[in-house]
A = this chain, B = another copy of it.
Amino acid sequence: MSSQNGDLTARARIRDAAIELFAERGVGPATIRDIAERAGVSSGLLRHHFGSKDGLREACDEYAMAKMAELRERLLGPNGMMEPAVLAAMHPTAMLLQSYLVRSMMDGTSSVLFDSAMESGRTWLHNADFHPSDPEGYLAVLIAMKIGIFLMRDQISEVLGEDMMSPTGHRRMLRASIEIFSLPMLTPEQGERALKALDSLIPTEEQS
């Protein structure tokens, strides 16, 4: 996370280890014993500092959100320009935090990440000359798509033949995303036709 470890307090090492393991396995499957072991402390200390596993998760949420905001701000820099070198340096950390936040969200209860994504999506949509019918639904689906990429990291990596988080793998993923969002796979006519077909479908009875 930061340097290697060592100079960090035990509390910080636990937090970092938790973020790593939560990101790798998901919140449920990651056990406090494994987290403690990775941090090099006893599981009791984890409890001492964070009270419970859920307390630890909340602390991780808070830290990850704050850190992401900090990274974002630092990336844009004082002059608002994006420095490639800075981006490359913070990239691994950002990927890890992103993976963690996505995993944390999938566990249920809190949806801080999705909500904040919706919020920044609204301002983006507001500034763009781009007006989907049903903007809320549009944003929700769009965000779900972007998050899906991180959730499918293992599957995508297998197809790519390299880790999606590696520099080259990540570039291929970004390139694909850009192509998807700039080269429409449906022509406007096809899109129009699909929307018409969708409207013509009269949903009847519905139950499982």
Contact = CB atoms under 8 A, between A and B. Distances in A.
Contacts of A87: 201
Interface string A153-164: 011101110000
A197 to B, nearest CB: 8
Interface in A150-181: 151-152, 154-156, 158-160, 166-168, 170-181
User: Main SS of chain A's interface residues?
Assistant: helix
A154 to B, nearest CB: 7
A141 B198 contact: no
Contacts of A175: 133-134, 137, 195, 198
A91 interface: yes
A8 interface: no
Candidate in A1, A148, A166, A200 with the most chain B CB atoms within 10 angstroms:
A148
Given A88-B201, A96-B208, A181 B178 contact: no
Copies in the complex: 2
B207 A92 contact: yes
Interface in A179-208: 179-188, 190-192, 194-195, 198, 200-208
A178 to B, nearest CB: 5
Interface in A56-103: 84-85, 87-89, 91-93, 96
B92 A152 contact: no
Given A87-B201, A114-B155, A180 B138 contact: yes
B176 A142 contact: yes
Interface stretch (A31-39, A40-48, A105-113): A105-113
Given A181-B184, A182-B187, 4 more contacts: A148-B149, A178-B194, A178-B198, A184-B184
